[in-house]
Amino acid sequence: MSRKILLKHIDVPGIRGLKAYRENGGYQALEKALKSMKPDEVTEEVKKSGLRGRGGAGFPAGMKWSFIAKPEGVPRYLVCNADESEPGTFKDRYLMSHLPHALIEGMIVSSFALGANTSYIYIRGEMLYVYHILEEAIAEAYEAGLLGKNILGSGFSLDLYVHPGGGAYICGEETALIESLEGKRGNPRIKPPFPAVKGVWGCPTVVNNVETIASVPHIVNMGGDEYAKIGIGKSTGTKLISACGHINKPGVYEIELGLPAEEFLYSDNYCGGIRNGKKLKAVVAGGSSVPILPGELFLKTANGEPRLMSYESLADGGFASGTMLGSGGFIVMDEDTSIVKNLWNFTRFYHHESCGQCSPCREGTGWMEKLLHKFLDGHATIEDIDLLWDIQSKIEGKTICPLGDAAAWPVASAIRHFRSEFEEYVKNPHSIKDVKHYFRINNLVEQ
């Protein structure tokens, strides 16, 4: 099995509490950083580690930190993006609910490195049970002198707040999150300026994902060079994967980046293969926003090389034959899955969650949902396939934030790899009765 770092102590009784967390090495990284390191030295270790953002984009975290502006007399902020809303992704809530102090320690160490004395955890509004867990853990940290004024006698002070959002997927985009945190409608901002220059209340701000920040204490403890030895190439360290769909063992797994995709899918240590002995049809490797891959292209690249669970290997071949690791939302579809129905469900989500600020996204997501509904309703034509392709191409790359791309990429990949299935819906329309049954079991019409 792959080496565990983030989830090493996940099964320790009482690990949610401060006492058990400290007994198992918790807050050692904080003591090391505050007592024997300078802020820039912490940033340098994160750079050496090669840690990439675990929220989806995969941008090097240390490099992102180095961009933060440092004007004299202006406060800086660290914001944790815990607005986990991507369909198929649930690893951050798992980490926060089981190991809240891992995130809190990461927030303190990272805030120290960035020179932030006030930091925020912006959590998805529907995850109120996690909100209460975090609040309880933060209270423990304050009581133990790990938060507040003059932490561990170091002279560094930090106040940490948890801010529940309103349940909007768009607030997972960092500038929309900042707008929401400031009490405004969560619309993405035009960049530049980037948050590192002008973020929360116009001040320099870094926004990082839960898993990214929780990895920082481990990097401080072991050193950036040692962390970089884990994984493969530029995909260093471990990664949490939310595995779901038609597999025998759904759940959250911590893998060493570079693990063969076939081993992750079929090994009993991980997903345990396709349930009910079915064949693999398709995989969404990194959350609903990434291109769908046919099973054979997920297991092997177009050149016949074994596919690996890494940023580079999954992207091999571009979108013509590859995909993205993304947020790690791993969705498996067996041979009986309708790609068209699945795609309609994805598109319905993106239409609902579009903030409406950009016309291509506001209008285009709605058109794609209506067109896909025509296929399910038995009224589509062959021309509708080409129209669907044309619409997605007019959304991608033409919006302020990546939600437009997220809506377009699954549509493009589904048509690219499964066009014959769309054509089958045209040639042999499913009966209205079957479609209504599909809607009914998904609670989309009255019973």
- Is residue 10 pLDDT above 90, yes or no? yes
Q: Which residues contact 436 (CB under 8 A, 6 or more apart)?
A: 445
| Mean pLDDT, rounded, for 408-429 | 94
- Is residue 161 pLDDT above 90, yes or no? yes
- Return d(Cα 310, Cα 429) in angstroms, integer: 40
pLDDT of residue 3: 83
| Mean pLDDT, rounded, for 259-265 | 97
Q: How confident is the model at residue 432 (pLDDT cuts 50, 70, 90)?
A: very low
For residue 245, the cross-strand partners are: 332
pLDDT of residue 440: 52
Please give the structure tokens belonging to residue 27. 């807050």
Q: How far apart are the first and last CA of the chain?
A: 46
Residue 1: how many CB atoms within 10 A of its CB? 11
Q: How confident is the model at residue 166 (pLDDT cuts 50, 70, 90)?
A: confident
Strand pairing category for 280-284 and 293-294: antiparallel
Set out the domains of the chain in order of their start, with CATH numbers. Answer: 18-229 (3.40.50.11540), 237-334 (3.10.20.600), 339-441 (1.20.1440.230)
Share of the chain above pLDDT 90, in %: 91
Q: How confident is the model at residue 112 (pLDDT cuts 50, 70, 90)?
A: very high
pLDDT of residue 433: 44
| Mean pLDDT, rounded, for 202-222 | 97
Mean pLDDT of the residues in the chain: 94
Q: Which residues contact 395 (CB under 8 A, 6 or more apart)?
A: 360, 361, 364, 365, 404, 405, 407, 408
DSSP letter at 90? -
CA atoms within 13 A on the CB side of 336: 7
Q: pLDDT tens digits, residue range 218-251? A: 999 999 999 999 999 999 999 999 999 999 999 9
Higher pLDDT, residue 1 or 177: 177
Q: How confident is the model at residue 169 (pLDDT cuts 50, 70, 90)?
A: very high
Q: pLDDT tens digits, residue range 390-407? A: 999 999 999 999 999 999
| Mean pLDDT, rounded, for 62-66 | 95
C-beta separation of 331 from 337 below 8 A: no
pLDDT of residue 439: 53
pLDDT of residue 56: 81
pLDDT of residue 429: 81
Please give the structure tokens belonging to residue 417. 């790899």
What are the CA-CA distances from residue 163 to residues 211, 362, 416 (Å)?
A: 18, 27, 41
Q: Is 251 helix (H, G, I), strand (E, B) or coil?
A: strand
Q: pLDDT tens digits, residue range 318-335? A: 989 999 999 999 999 999
Q: pLDDT tens digits, residue range 76-103? A: 999 999 999 999 999 999 999 999 999 9
Q: How confident is the model at residue 441 (pLDDT cuts 50, 70, 90)?
A: very low
Q: How confident is the model at residue 57 (pLDDT cuts 50, 70, 90)?
A: confident
pLDDT of residue 201: 96
Share of the chain above pLDDT 70, in %: 96
Q: pLDDT tens digits, residue range 349-392? A: 999 999 999 999 999 999 999 999 999 988 999 999 999 999 99
Identify the burial level of 202 via C-beta atoms within 10 angstroms of its C-beta, where 0-12 means exposed, 13-18 middle and 19 or more buried. Answer: exposed
Q: How confident is the model at residue 426 (pLDDT cuts 50, 70, 90)?
A: very high
